[in-house]
Amino acid sequence: MRYLPLTPSDRQAMLGVIGAKSIDDLFADVPAEARLDGPIHGLPNHASEMAVERHFSNLARQNMTASHTPFFLGAGAYKHHVPASVDHIIQRGEFLTAYTPYQPEIAQGTLQMLFEFQTQVARLFGCDVANASMYDGSTACWEAIGMAGRITKRSKAVLSSGLHPHYVSVAKTMAQYTGDTLDTALPALSPVTDSARLLDAIDGETSCVVVQYPDILGRIEDLSAIAAKAHEHGALLIAVVTEPVALGAIKAPGEMGADIVVGEGQSLGVGLQFGGPYVGLFACKEKFVRQMPGRLCGETVDAEGKRGFVLTLSTREQHIRREKATSNICTNSGLCALAFSIHLTLLGEKGLRGLAELNHGLAVQAADRLSQIAGVELVNDTFFNEFTLKLPKEARPVVRALADRKVLGGVSLGRLYPDVDALANGLLVAVTEAATMEDVETFATALQEVLA
Amino acid sequence: MSTINQSGWKPEMGSAGETGPATYTGNKALMLEEALIFEIGTTGTTGVDLADAPKVTPRLGNLARHRDIGLPGLSEPETVRHYTRLSRQNYAIDLGFFPLGSCTMKHNPRLNEKVARMEGFADVHPLQPVETVQGALAVINELAVWLIKLTGMHGVAMTPKAGAHGELCGILAIKAALEARGDPRSVILVPESAHGTNPATAAFAGYAVENIPATSEGRVDLAALKARLGPDVAGVMITNPNTCGLFERDMKAISDAVHAAGGYVYCDGANFNAIVGRVRPGDLGIDAMHINLHKTFSTPHGGGGPGSGPVVLSEALSPFGPIPFTERHADGRYTLVEEETASARHPHSFGRMTAFHGQMGMFTRALSYIMSHGADGLRQVAEDAVLNANYILRSLEDVLDAPFAHSGPCMHEALFSDNGLADGFSTLDIAKGLIDEGYHPMTVYFPLVVHGAMLIEPTETESKVTLDQFIGAMRSVVQRAKAGDPMLKSAPHHAPRRRLDETQAARKPALVWREPEQAVAAE
Amino acid sequence: MTRYFTEDHEWIEVDGDSATVGITDYAQSQLGDIVFAEVPAAGATLKKGGDAAVVESVKAASDVYAPVSGTVIEGNAALGGDPALVNNDPEGEGWFFKITLSDTSELDSLMDAAAYKAFVDGL
Q: What is the mean pLDDT of residues B89-100?
A: 97
What are the chain B neighbours of A65 within 8 Å (beta carbons)? Answer: 119-120, 123-124
Residue-averaged pLDDT of chain B: 94
- Give the pLDDT band of residue B10 (cuts 50, 70, 90): confident
The whole-angstrom separation of Cα A134 and Cα A336 is 10
Residue B506 in contact with partner chain C when CB distance is under 8 A: yes
- Asked if ipTM goes beyond 0.95, one says yes
Q: What is the mean pLDDT of residues A446-452?
A: 96
Contacts of B125 (CB under 8 A, 6+ apart): A66, A71, A73, A77, A79, A272, A274, A408
Residue A32 in contact with partner chain B when CB distance is under 8 A: no
Interface contact B60-A418, CB threshold 8 A: no
What are the chain B neighbours of A61 within 8 Å (beta carbons)? Answer: 120, 135
Statement: residue A315 has pLDDT above 90? no
- pLDDT attached to residue A67: 92
- pLDDT attached to residue B12: 79
b/e sequence A75-108, b meaning 16+ C-beta within 10 Å: bbbbbbebbebbbebbebbbbbbbbbbbbbbbbb
- pLDDT attached to residue B18: 63
Interface contact B507-C59, CB threshold 8 A: no
Distance from the Cα of A298 to chain C's closest Cα (Å) equals 13
Statement: residue B521 has pLDDT above 60? no
- pLDDT attached to residue B106: 97
Contacts of A443 (CB under 8 A, 6+ apart): A70, A72, A366, A370, A402, A407, A409
The pLDDT tens digits for B423-462 are 999 999 999 999 999 999 999 999 988 999 999 999 999 9
The whole-angstrom separation of Cα B135 and Cα A62 is 5
Segments of chain C with pLDDT less than 70: none
Q: What is the mean pLDDT of residues B341-346?
A: 85
- pLDDT attached to residue B16: 65
Chain B contact partners (≥3 CB pairs within 8 A): A, C
- The answer to whether residues B291 and B143 touch, using CB atoms and an 8 Å cutoff, is no
- Give the pLDDT band of residue A324 (cuts 50, 70, 90): confident
Residue of B501, B503, B523 to mutate for C, most C C-beta atoms under 10 A:
B503
Interface contact B506-C84, CB threshold 8 A: no
The pLDDT tens digits for B345-402 are 899 999 999 999 999 999 999 999 999 999 999 999 999 999 999 999 999 999 999 9
- pLDDT attached to residue B519: 60
Share of chain A above pLDDT 90, in %: 94
- pLDDT attached to residue A178: 83
- The answer to whether residues C6 and C67 touch, using CB atoms and an 8 Å cutoff, is yes
The pLDDT tens digits for B123-139 are 999 999 999 999 999 99
User: Helix, strand or coil for residue B4?
Assistant: coil
Count CB neighbours of B494 within 10 A.
13
The identity of residue B500, as a single letter, is L
The whole-angstrom separation of Cα A111 and Cα A101 is 7
- A395 φ/ψ angles, rounded to the nearest 5 degrees: -80, -30
Q: What is the mean pLDDT of residues B74-81?
A: 98
Residue A182 bridge partners (DSSP): A157
Q: What is the mean pLDDT of residues B234-241?
A: 96
What are the chain B neighbours of A99 within 8 Å (beta carbons)? Answer: 98, 100, 103, 105, 301, 303-304, 440
- Residue B107 to residues B84, B278, B463, C107, Cα–Cα distance (Å): 21, 21, 12, 60
The identity of residue B372, as a single letter, is S
Distance from the Cα of A317 to chain B's closest Cα (Å) equals 8
Contacts of B194 (CB under 8 A, 6+ apart): B237, B239, B243, B268, B447
Statement: residue A27 has pLDDT above 70? yes
What are the chain B neighbours of C59 within 8 Å (beta carbons)? Answer: 445, 502
Evaluated on CA atoms A108, A110, A113, A119, the torsion sign reads negative
Statement: residue A132 has pLDDT above 90? yes
- pLDDT attached to residue B344: 84
- pLDDT attached to residue B522: 53
Q: What is the mean pLDDT of residues B253-270?
A: 97
Q: What is the mean pLDDT of residues B168-182?
A: 96
Residue A71 in contact with partner chain B when CB distance is under 8 A: yes
- pLDDT attached to residue B17: 64
- pLDDT attached to residue B73: 98
The pLDDT tens digits for A347-397 are 999 999 999 999 999 999 999 999 999 999 999 999 999 999 999 999 999
The whole-angstrom separation of Cα C57 and Cα B189 is 27
Interface contact A312-B511, CB threshold 8 A: yes
Interface contact C60-A321, CB threshold 8 A: no
Burial of B26 (0-12, 13-18, 19+ CB in 10 A): exposed
What are the chain C neighbours of A315 within 8 Å (beta carbons)? Answer: 35-36, 56-61
Distance from the Cα of C33 to chain B's closest Cα (Å) equals 6
